[in-house]
Amino acid sequence: MVTENYLLLDQRMKMLVFHSAEERYNNLLRDEPLALQKIPLNFLASYLNVTQETLSRIRSKK
């Protein structure tokens, strides 16, 4: 279980470093589509490490 959690943390850290905000949003949309409907935007923005304004701009492109 520790190894599994480490791998998830490693994947998340790489995502934050190597992917753009839009790529992170698209990955979340692909992996957890229901989360975008249930979780408030301020929490999603925080999870994606972007401001709410940036998240709104990304969402408006879709």
List, in order, residues 6 or more apart from 52 with CB less than 8 Å away: 41, 42, 45
- Which residue is listed with tokens 């470093």? 17
* Mean pLDDT of all residues belonging to the chain: 93
- Which residue is listed with tokens 């692909």? 30
Cα 60 → chain centroid: 16
Report how far residue 61's alpha carbon sits from residue 15's, in angstroms, rounded to the nearest whole number.
21
Confidence band, pLDDT 50/70/90 cuts, at residue 36: confident
- What percentage of the chain has pLDDT greater than the value 90? 87
How is the chain split into domains, by residue range? 2-61
Confidence band, pLDDT 50/70/90 cuts, at residue 39: very high
